[in-house]
Amino acid sequence: MDQLRVGLYIYLDLRWFDHPFALSHFKIKSEEQIRTIRGLGLKSVRYNPDLSDPGETLAPVAPSAVEAVALAPSPFIVQALEAKRAMMERIKVQRAIAARIENAFINTAKTVREVEKNLFTQPKETVRQAGKLVAQIAESILCAPELALHVMGDKMGGEELYFHSLNVTTLSLMMARDVKLPSEAFGTLGMGALFHDIGRKEIPNRILLKMDPLTQAERHLYEMHCQYGSEMGQRLQFAPPVIAIIREHHELFDGSGYPQKLKGESIGLLSRIVALANHYDELCNPLNIADALTPHEALSLMFARLRNKFDPKLLQVFIRCLGVYPPGTIVQLSNGVIGMIATVNTAKPMKPVIVIYDASIPKDEAILIDLERETELSIAKAIRPAQVPGEIYNYLSPRKRVSYYFDAGQNSPEKVPL
């Protein structure tokens, strides 16, 4: 204990609940921290020379040379433990919020399934219900003081096929909020995003579900879903701007999209928003899961190699809202700890909430670190799931399919009846 000094990276062999620090291993930053460590009743602590400041190495000492420092808990330790208990309460609240949001997401996906199921048997009533759902989602997004996007868990209720529509709707409305789109446009955007792929109902499953590359003829037929969707929208008496989104959601800013090869601002603004959200979600959640990119990889690809295909201002907005490390990304923190981005506040995307891997803590009680509060920590880099040891991967449970939702509070779409 008398060898402790600022700059050493140390490990506390205590349960996380029995010390006042945010993590059980960290780099010592102050003399005050040293006094706190000495007051914990430990005879010694382990340290890692590789993670310590350069030059901070210690000569080996005999165990008998290091005695426990018997100190009564100082006022600082008492105060720090109170802060730790407050942190544990915050984690408990965050976990409850995440469970509520996840239930809202699953229930909303079920509603989307019912909408698509009844769209042509009860068109008038179903379109009305879809409009109500979109209005509630839009209202929740507009009313939230700060919009927090959460990565969803693996509680699949057979609604996986409807997650894409919901993802594109959520991400599109997120962008609309950031660019301060008029509130009356949210309903149009939400309906267009929700039904953007409606024309796929006319495409044979042998094409929709084909894992191998499509032939030229198959590709041409698949691309017809935009036109089919436009025609279906007309039959359902969608508003013309909604039909335009359905028709244009695969048009790209450089003119390489389809079906009309529109270019630049000849593509409607709402269509440009949906095209961006749609492409991102297809990269993260392709038909063949083996081809899936991590959220971080998808954003990096869109910015580095595909940026000419999207409205540059909207692409900046999208990256700013999701952050360089979107929810679902596995990261290494500046202290070497591995975690997964759980929640991003779109107003402060570089200060997410992160689920931390700690083998000494049960998975369902995992530590949640809020980088807005833990100012000494930062994200060092993103890590591909394949590079993460199996036990860490299973603990963090990166999602096979990445889905996002937001805290709708009392306006939760789970209340929408059908």
CA distance 258 to 176: 23
CA distance 20 to 22: 7
- The whole-number pLDDT of residue 252 equals 98
> Is residue 115 located within the same domain as residue 181?
yes
> Is residue 169 located within the same domain as residue 274?
yes
Report which of residues 258 and 67 the model is more confident about.
Answer: 258
Q: Nearest 5°: phi and psi at 11?
A: -120, 130
- Of 280, 308, 323, the position where a domain reaches its end is 323
Q: What is the pLDDT of residues 223-252, one digit of tens each?
A: 999 999 999 999 999 999 999 999 999 999
- Of 323, 346, 368, the position where a domain reaches its end is 323
Question: What is the count of structural domains for the chain?
Answer: 2
Q: What is the pLDDT of residues 253-271, one digit of tens each?
A: 999 999 999 999 999 999 9
pLDDT band at residue 409, thresholds of 50, 70 and 90? low
> Is residue 202 located within the same domain as residue 227?
yes
Q: Which strands sit side by side in the sheet containing 46-47, from one edge to the other?
A: 25-27, 9-11, 46-47
> Is residue 152 located within the same domain as residue 175?
yes
- Name the one residue in this structure whose structure tokens are 């003829």: 217
pTM of the model: 0.80
CB atoms under 10 Å from CB of 44, counted, come to: 16
> Is residue 314 located within the same domain as residue 363?
no
Query: In sequence order, what DSSP letters do the residues of 302-335 get, joined into one string?
Result: HHHTSGGGS-HHHHHHHHHHH-SS-TT-EEEETT
pLDDT band at residue 153, thresholds of 50, 70 and 90? low
- The whole-number pLDDT of residue 241 equals 98
> Is residue 232 located within the same domain as residue 316?
yes
The chain-wide mean pLDDT, for the chain, equals 86
CA distance 98 to 96: 5
- Is the pLDDT at 178 greater than 90? The verdict is yes
Range in 37-46, 168-177, 255-264 with the lowest mean pLDDT: 37-46
> Is residue 138 located within the same domain as residue 238?
yes
Helices vs strands, H then E, count in the chain: 13, 10
124 token code pair: 């008038």
Nearest in space to 33 (alpha carbons), one of 57, 5, 14, 11: 5
> Is residue 197 located within the same domain as residue 305?
yes
> Is residue 310 located within the same domain as residue 241?
yes
Query: Which residue type does 389 have?
Result: P
Q: What is the mean pLDDT of residues 12-26?
A: 83
- Do the domain assignments include residue 97? no
- The whole-number pLDDT of residue 247 equals 98
Nearest in space to 271 (alpha carbons), one of 254, 240, 248, 253: 248
pLDDT band at residue 305, thresholds of 50, 70 and 90? very high
